[in-house]
Amino acid sequence: MSQPKLIVNPLSGEQIVILRSAAETGGQVLDWELRLAPGGRVPSSHAHPEQHETFTVQEGTMRFRVGRRRIIAGPGQRVTVPPGTVHHFANAGPVTATVTVESRPALRMEELLETAAAMAQDQHEARRALPRPTDLALFMTEFEREVAAPYLPRALVRLVMRTLAHAGRAGRARQAARPARHAPGTARVHN
Mean pLDDT of 85-94: 97
pLDDT in tens, 34-71: 999 999 999 889 999 999 999 999 999 999 999 999 99
The angle, 0 to 180 degrees and rounded to 10, between the axes of the packed helices 133-142 and 109-125 is 170
* Predicted pLDDT at 181: 44
pTM above 0.75, yes or no: yes
On average, the pLDDT of the chain sits at: 86
* Predicted pLDDT at 182: 42
Give the N- to C-terminal CA distance of the chain in Å, as an integer: 60
Reported confidence tier of residue 168, pLDDT bands at 50, 70, 90: low
Structural domains in the chain?
A: 5-107 (2.60.120.10), 124-182 (no CATH)
How many angstroms separate the CA atoms of 49 and 83, rounded? 5
